[in-house]
Structure 1
Amino acid sequence: MEHTGVVHKIIVAGIGPGNPDYLVPAACKAIAGAKALVGGRRALAQYAASDGAGQHIMAVTRDIEAVMAFIQEELHERDVVVMVSGDPGYYSLLDAIKRKFPSECIRVIPGISAMQLAFARMNLPWHDARLVSFHGRQPERSALLYQKGAVMGMLTDAKFTSRTIPLILMECGWPGEAKLHICTRLSYDDEKVVTIRLREAENYPEAKNGILLVEG
């Protein structure tokens, strides 16, 4: 794709875990001033101009090529603000954007990820933690192997959940007595954070599409 002479920017803004209280001011300012705005349907419902105001919008769906085409077209006339959940650097649309557009036309505004918030809720430092994603994928076994004293953070989905992941971890050597923190709906009014033992997870109510933290 040809991008010579590009003047306008793609501003990839992290919008945090969901609650507007966790939206950083720089992202808030970029979104408020956006003439072209891209994001998930929930994000657009929350942040797109209510009166239209001539704002061009595009919902992110599974048709990522359509999203990229919209961004490419809008760049001829204006900056494009792309809203992504959490932090852009952590499993977001930024990867796809970087494959299509040169770095010099991309500006990233970091956000607070649900993973960060989960560690904060448990008062845990995360500088030495292993972070893996079970969201639409399964990590390599080598990334999951138990080490004494290890702390690991995991994104989950509808298949890999608070009930299925602990079984995988115990197969990888994690002890059944390890602490498991199950975090769902982080930042929302119905947020729930519970701590159980890894071996108890099989019989505990299943949680999907959240964050799991395990302490070895």
Structure 2
Amino acid sequence: MEHNITVVGIGPGARDYILPIALKKINEAKVLVGGKRALADYATEGQKTAPITADIQAAITFIREESLREDVVVMVSGDPGYYSLLPALRNEFALSRLKVIPGISSMQLAFSRIGLPWQNADLMSLHGRLPDYASLAYEKGRLIGMLTDAEHNSQRIAMLLLDAGWPQNTQAYICERLSYPDEKILAVSLLQATARDAVRHCIMVVAG
């Protein structure tokens, strides 16, 4: 018998930001899959667990085998609908078996922290992805939210945007370690961002 696979968004990091229904599903799970940090934070004694690593296929194989015997709960950071394992699971399993519980994404939290509506923002991820440079073109009033990584960090992105025609005094927000006690949000111009130490893993919001 094939059992259900519940994909649970665990929010941006700190436990305060996980939805109660998500925590309930995690606590009830007999089989739990997630990143190493998520497993360290949420797995309990008696649960069968497997980490999500760079070897995504290994996690898929574990989920497939275990879901023949039990329901499986898969934890993903942020919201499952925003750059998570969900597309890979949709490719591997019947949609009727997949249940999805939303979470607060780090992107959503970043816009909340700086008090900006984001319904008209252009959202993109440069995390492990080459940027579409045409998509960075300047338009007056344009609002962009970006996921960054070690290569496309805050400093590098600021340089790319300046090369794409954004004014030097454009307001940028570099949001780091969101939801944690050591959270940092830096408001600088794009020009200032090029001169500061690069922040590797953050949300960067730019308001044209």
With normalisation by structure 1, the TM-score equals 0.94
After TM superposition, list the pairs within 5 Å mapping 1:1-216 onto structure 2.
6=2, 8-49=3-44, 52-53=45-46, 55-216=47-208
Deviation at 1:154, TM superposition (A): 0.3
Q: What is the alpha-carbon root mean square deviation over aligned residues?
A: 0.9
1:201 partner SS: helix
1:163 partner SS: helix
Alpha-carbon distance in 1 for matches of 2:87, 2:201 = 21
Using the aligned pairs only, state the percent identity: 50
For these two proteins, the number of residue pairs brought into alignment is: 208
Alpha-carbon distance in 2 for matches of 1:26, 1:70 = 24
Runs of 5+ consecutive residues of structure 2 not aligned to the other structure: none
Runs of 5+ consecutive residues of structure 1 not aligned to the other structure: none
Alpha-carbon distance in 2 for matches of 1:196, 1:63 = 37
Amino acid at match of 1:47: Y
Alpha-carbon distance in 2 for matches of 1:62, 1:195 = 33
Alpha-carbon distance in 1 for matches of 2:130, 2:138 = 16
Deviations 1:43-85 (A, max 9, x none): 0000000xx22x1100011111111111011111111000000
Deviations 1:131-155 (A, max 9, x none): 0111001221222111110110000
Deviation at 1:41, TM superposition (A): 0.5
Deviation at 1:205, TM superposition (A): 2.1
Q: Which of structure 1's runs of 4+ aligned residues deviate more than 6 A?
A: none
1:83 partner SS: strand
Deviation at 1:206, TM superposition (A): 1.6
Deviation at 1:187, TM superposition (A): 0.2
